[in-house]
Structure 1
Amino acid sequence: MRNIFKYIPMVTLGQILGTVVGFPLLCFLINIFYYSNKYNDDAEQYSTEYMNNSYDIEVTMPEEKSKLYIENVDKDVITSETFREKIDNNYFSNPRGLYFPFYSVEYKKYFSIMCFLGANRMHWPYGMKVILTVNRDDMNNPEYGTKENPVPVLKDVGVDESIRDYDKDYDKVYMDSFYRENVIRYLKYKMPKSEFKKRFKNGE
């Protein structure tokens, strides 16, 4: 058994060892030192603070082909994003965000309806009146509301009819849970770490 290696060229042996030992070790180190600190993993404990500092506004959504939707004007705008938590072979198991950015004539600001829980059983409220839940700090911050940095919207419900199937918009238990989980994922994956520390940890 010990002499089997003399029949294997050194280059081939190096490739085998690199594949069997080196690559898994590299993945392990990247997962430990990069991905373990990439996101705001303590976001859940600040989610209530974020929600308590939020309020509802009513807007009329633009019609389907309106240029008030950023993606109808700028084809390079990001409308979906996958957040890798570690290196593995199952890319589709990673969390994903869906974004629907638009300009509100009523508020003269750009908003982005964000969903991190999947958008199943929902239809887009083109031309509908909707209630959007927004954060007060985001609304008051001049750095938000621009095309490049729209105000995040983490809960939206129809005024005259439900956006979601089975009238889920008006199921308080369901929507409270949806909103909380959506906020947690927004704070964890989407909000930049520097801003997260500044807003919730006094910049520490």
Structure 2
Amino acid sequence: MDEANSGLIEGTDGKKRCFWHANLPDYLAYHDEEWGRPVADDRRLFEKLCLEGFQSGLSWLTILRKRENFREAFAGFDFERVARFTEDDVERLLGNKGIIRHGGKIRSTINNARRAIALCEEEGSLARYFWRQEPGPAERPERLDYRTLIANSKTDVSTRISKDLKKRGWTFVGPTTVYAFMQAMGLVNDHIEGCAMREEVEQTRRAFVRPV
């Protein structure tokens, strides 16, 4: 199978990786060092879910390149602090050229910060809530090839989580957004078969202590 059909591309180091980083330096670093590696830190989980919401209708690369601006604008995604943002903060953020100036998404982040506090009070932490819903082996494809990855923009698990979050008052958390969050935070390993990072990420997932 050639690279176009395998979903793998070869880097300057001769290693084959998932196609989507396109060998762009910042995207490649994200692919190798972050994507799919398990995360249990509540602030990082909240950040990623919010940024996935901001990504809606855009590319992740656009968000990635603005990520430090977002962190500065949203108090490092400390949801205890973001929950106290007011309409004055919304206006401030709408004037911030370093982020995506979308009123609905900005207000959603503030709303979701308040919902995150409530979820932590009920579940103990965001990490415990999300990791107890990690898909089991029977819920995952036996082999993850390019076609399977493209087809799985959402799953039964991401749909279930999305519905539950919406019942709790979260916004911009559709099943596709939730699945992208799951891929990035390591709840699943969606590096394609043959990607140089797939086994390394899988080893990290095996050693990871689930916060449940």
- CA radius of gyration, larger in: 1
TM-score normalised by L of structure 1? 0.25
Higher helix share: 2
Higher strand share: 1
TM-score normalised by L of structure 2? 0.25
